[in-house]
Chain A
């Protein structure tokens, strides 16, 4: 039984050393490179006495960032990937919560990093990568031996309803459990060639990184801008013989909406996993027609707090346009409970809240005991001994085949462009803008956009400009409406339902 994610890299290293593991259009790293660089970084951290603590990584999404992740693990620490494309204010909020003493920064990002006003030590990645001959094998062996599988591997940050991002802490054991089960489902082997779409500051990239290490497979990091130019994107898939993709539904939809398959079709795809968002059956049908016969389509579901994905459905039948593609059943070694308002399991066919039970449940929110105890709760069906489950806030039911079907959220959390967003976080930021009195956000599912409604003297254009400086691109409203009066319900709350009907209805 393995206890540390590094064992995926170390196993059969002699056999895979010279093969390329991760590539993008600019650089490639072999398994041997990953080994050498990660141990150089681990040595540096060990010699500077950083240990069992968060290490921030401020790098662009490229193969080198994966070497940095592994370097942090080799040093017996846990990595905190930062979004190098986000405005400084947002990154600073993350740094405040994670409070790392050390940051690994790409040379290209050094200038931008100054804006973060980081007080700790900054290690330049490129300096480490050039120092692979000074590895302290003895120190690294000691660290490895002392590590246990419940030590954290990473913290990733997700949107928080009160305006502060929350850092989800995951340990090695949860990730190992996830990777073992996910690899079975995706049927990963050494011939797998992944095409990575997701950014590296989320758990989503676990799907490509660790199975690639485990099987000695390979992964291409698809440039972000190719997702705007779908013909180039599909040509890229074909050129590199990419056969496995795990993309958010919106990326798959974009390819379809621009009519790409009339010009070029993916030739090598054998596994297409989609998730994080509702994916309409009609679009699934068009994708199935475009890819080689026999390709497997999988719907994945899971919260970051459940390490990654924890439910899956392999498409095995046709769906009518208004059907919901189920999220299926839990991964092996995971159970999903549907709990009703009375704290008991719901009856067959009824809707309940998804509680996740298993090794996949992460450790909690970093430096945030209050939010942790709200969401990581005692199993409501067990009063006899401590057993922590994750309460997702997602509502689901079981269909007549016993498959889980996602119904909706309990709260104001939405999924947009593959990202999980608390509308409350955007509202909090808007309320701080000068000239804004009160603000509310609703989500227009049909047009796939966030609608911001506010009352105040500020002009919509200046509100938008100021949001651009504080929020990541995916959290920006697609429509901004200034109103004379904000509508309220008789109970005195903002009338979100009314706002939604008025401003978030397609075609208006």
Chain B
């Protein structure tokens, strides 16, 4: 879980260097991420961990914070 979290934070920081990624819990609800960010995150997680995020899991709740994204990866890989 921790290893996913660090990678997720790194991806997010690359996309949004000026946001406080560690604390932010409203990446989607505050409009920080856009559709290109989501695609980038999904592609990079697939490259990094072989985590295939299917469309039904791409929901606002699963992308609102670094923690939520890392949990999603954990759930996909470890059930």
Instruction: Report which A residues bind B (CB closer than 8 A).
Output: 225, 227-232, 254, 257-260, 262-264, 417, 448-449, 461, 464-465, 468, 473, 478
CA distance A343 to B17 in the complex (A): 49
Beyond A228-B63, A232-B60, A461-B18: 11 further Cβ-contacts under 8 Å?
A: A225-B31, A225-B60, A228-B33, A228-B38, A228-B58, A232-B59, A254-B39, A258-B38, A258-B39, A259-B54, A468-B18
Q: Which residue of B lies closest to A460 (CB)?
A: B17
- Chain B residues whose CB sits within 8 angstroms of the CB of A417 once the complex forms: 36
CA distance A492 to B39 in the complex (A): 39
Contact: B17 with A258, CB < 8 Å? Answer: no
- Chain A residues whose CB sits within 8 angstroms of the CB of B39 once the complex forms: 254, 257-258
Instruction: Report which B residues bind A (CB closer than 8 A).
Output: 17-18, 28, 31, 33-39, 42, 54-56, 58-60, 63
- Chain A residues whose CB sits within 8 angstroms of the CB of B33 once the complex forms: 228
Q: Which residue of A lies closest to B13 (CB)?
A: A461
- Chain A residues whose CB sits within 8 angstroms of the CB of B31 once the complex forms: 225
CA distance A448 to B37 in the complex (A): 12
Q: Can you identify 15 A-B contacts, CB atoms within 8 angstroms?
A: A225-B60, A228-B28, A228-B33, A228-B34, A228-B38, A231-B55, A258-B39, A258-B42, A259-B54, A259-B55, A262-B55, A263-B54, A263-B56, A448-B36, A461-B17
Interface Cβ pair total, 8 Å cutoff = 54
Q: Main SS of the interface on chain A?
A: helix
Q: Which residue of A lies closest to B38 (CB)?
A: A228
- Chain A residues whose CB sits within 8 angstroms of the CB of B59 once the complex forms: 229, 231-232
- Chain B residues whose CB sits within 8 angstroms of the CB of A465 once the complex forms: 17-18
Contact: B58 with A229, CB < 8 Å? Answer: yes
Known: A225-B31, A465-B18, A468-B18. A231 touches B38 (CB 8 A): no
Q: Which residue of A lies closest to B28 (CB)?
A: A225
Contact: A227 with B35, CB < 8 Å? Answer: yes
Contact: A262 with B60, CB < 8 Å? Answer: no
CA distance A227 to B39 in the complex (A): 11
Contact: B55 with A473, CB < 8 Å? Answer: no
Q: How far is the CB of B15 from chain A (nearest CB, A)?
A: 9
CA distance A417 to B34 in the complex (A): 11
- Chain A residues whose CB sits within 8 angstroms of the CB of B56 once the complex forms: 231, 263
CA distance A17 to B35 in the complex (A): 37
Known: A225-B31, A417-B36, A473-B34. A230 touches B18 (CB 8 A): no
Contact: A254 with B54, CB < 8 Å? Answer: no
The listed residue (A227, A260, A464) touching B17 by CB distance below 8 A is: A464
Contact: B58 with A231, CB < 8 Å? Answer: yes
Contact: B36 with A230, CB < 8 Å? Answer: no
Q: How far is the CB of A466 from chain B (nearest CB, A)?
A: 9
- Chain B residues whose CB sits within 8 angstroms of the CB of A262 once the complex forms: 54-55
- Chain A residues whose CB sits within 8 angstroms of the CB of B42 once the complex forms: 258
- Chain A residues whose CB sits within 8 angstroms of the CB of B55 once the complex forms: 230-231, 258-260, 262-264
Q: How far is the CB of B36 from chain A (nearest CB, A)?
A: 7
CA distance A230 to B38 in the complex (A): 11
- Chain B residues whose CB sits within 8 angstroms of the CB of A473 once the complex forms: 34
Q: How far is the CB of A450 from chain B (nearest CB, A)?
A: 11
Q: How far is the CB of A34 from chain B (nearest CB, A)?
A: 28
Q: How far is the CB of A389 from chain B (nearest CB, A)?
A: 36
Q: Which residue of A lies closest to B18 (CB)?
A: A465
CA distance A461 to B63 in the complex (A): 23
CA distance A97 to B21 in the complex (A): 38
- Chain A residues whose CB sits within 8 angstroms of the CB of B54 once the complex forms: 259, 262-263
Q: How far is the CB of A413 from chain B (nearest CB, A)?
A: 20
CA distance A103 to B54 in the complex (A): 45
- Chain B residues whose CB sits within 8 angstroms of the CB of A478 once the complex forms: 36
Q: Which 10 A-B pairs have the closest CB atoms?
A: A461-B17, A228-B35, A260-B55, A465-B18, A263-B56, A228-B38, A259-B55, A263-B55, A227-B35, A258-B55
